[in-house]
Structure 1
Amino acid sequence: MNAVSFDSLGDVLGRIWDAATTPVPAPPQSVVLAMALAALAVVLVTPVWRIARHVVTIAHEGAHALVATLTGRRLDAIRLHSDTSGLTVSAGRPRGFGMVATTFAGYVGPGLVGLGAAWVLRAGYAVGLLWLLVVLLALLLLKVRNLFGLWSVLVAGAALVAVSWWLDEPTQSAVAYAVTWFLLLGAVRPVLELQAQRFRRRARQSDADQLARLTGLPGLFWVAVFLLVTVGALALGAWWIVGPVWT
């Protein structure tokens, strides 16, 4: 019984590894552009965006968590809320590079994840990208400390697993492109929403205002940097996706 179980697990992992490490042909440009338009519609249509924004929040808080860990801070908890807000709690020095980098990472995180995804797609590993995202969500799940956060990460992970395991290769590739476009495009809108909230004085504890207190530079400066990075990631990522392939 145990031997059969281990053999079965080995077969499953082997199948996943083979699928993730095997390059697949890029879909037709018409499909790539259709996925871009679909992602843009999700970002621009507010009722749909309110639901899809949870994906951006996961990437936002994941970026806080990753940078906190890389800079030597102790990652304590991640919480994701039904209003699309989130909170990442880490322990360490209250000031200094680690705190600044951790605070900065959130709003630029989704765009940079999208940029990395575009690079993976350009290399031909669309299915590998889907499985990589599943792994990242599984790691994030280890630090989520509220029920809604657990539910949202599990749903996102289960959807990616279903696509990666059961759907055919062209559909998997199309989904990988749609996810990448959404991360690139969806990273920009929260920055604009942030400044709108700051203008109405409803975001006094925002990442930009925390950075202002940590660095002495005004919050508007940090919003501008967030926007520069996210728009830059969108432009470069779009070029990697639709531009000429490296030779």
Structure 2
Amino acid sequence: MPLAAAVTDADPARVVVLAAVIAWVGAVPMFVVTKYAATVAHEGGHALLGRLLAQKVVSIRLERGGNAATSFGGKLPWAIDVPVTMMGHLGPSVFGLGAAWLAVRGYTAAVFWASLAFLVLMLFVVRGPVGWLVVPALVVLAFLAAVYTEPPTQALLAHVWAWFLLIAAVEQSLVVMRGGAYATKGSDHDELRRLTLLPPVLWGLLLLTGSVAALAYGGAMLLRLG
């Protein structure tokens, strides 16, 4: 990709800025399309933390409208249910911070190998035609980025992916807050209300604040400001 090579050779810092612009376009104006990738990260957050806390993941179902649900093998204990439910909206932020940490250290291939490994594991539990389309497509894209891209292009793509995850997390929360989806019965926010008795709008604001903080921290990391 000549553009990526030219930008990298001229000034590596410009890669970060170019990546941020590309990621913003993908995560905000094109969110109606890219929301499916953000949803995979969202549900992946539920599933990953659940597995780390020794819970069995039964299925991850993605739907056409961008809605999704992760099912576990039984009722989660309260002390596990709260953080696992929170982790959905924070999942893209956490994955974005991990990608940023690797990218700024030059481990650009590792960004995609880690994404690929996680997505392959998701293939075993994903359900529904949307999931069967989106997750394999992301597997292919991650594999191509890890194996068949030159270092300058790979560096640009790794930064784009990190920025995208960080920005998409904020956009996802903003969409929820603007549309009032936090009050929808069965939503993560409603589930957190049931578990904690705190109003869902408060949970919406808290999760939005967390994603904004992650974007600020991850952005500073990517821009080498901190």
TM-score (norm 1): 0.82
Higher Cα radius of gyration:
1
Distance 1:200 1:226, change over 3 A: closer
- CA distance in 2: counterparts of 1:158 and 1:243, whole angstroms: 30
Report the number of matched residues: 218
Pair 1:132 & 2:121 matched: no
Q: Note if contact 1:198-1:204 (Cα within 8 Å) is conserved in structure 2.
A: no
Q: Note if contact 2:182-2:188 (Cα within 8 Å) is conserved in structure 1.
A: no
Counterpart of 1:186 (choices 154, 168, 174) is 168
Aligned to 2:137: 155
Task: Output aligned runs, 1:1-247, within 5 Å.
Answer: 28-45=12-29, 48-198=30-180, 203-243=184-224
Aligned to 2:5: none
* Residue identity in the other structure for 1:242: L
- CA distance in 1: counterparts of 2:131 and 2:65, whole angstroms: 11
Deviations 1:142-182 (A, max 9, x none): 11122321221110110121122222111111111111110
Q: Note if contact 2:22-2:160 (Cα within 8 Å) is conserved in structure 1.
A: yes
- CA distance in 2: counterparts of 1:77 and 1:50, whole angstroms: 24
Q: Which moved more, 1:171-180 or 1:216-225?
A: 216-225
Q: Which moved more, 1:54-63 or 1:76-85?
A: 76-85
Q: Which moved more, 1:192-201 or 1:160-169?
A: 192-201
* Residue identity in the other structure for 2:179: Q
Task: State percent identity of aligned pairs.
Answer: 31
Unaligned runs of 5+ in 2: 1-8
C-alpha displacement of 1:72: 2.7
C-alpha displacement of 1:199: 6.8
Distance 1:116 1:165, change over 3 A: same
TM-score (norm 2): 0.90
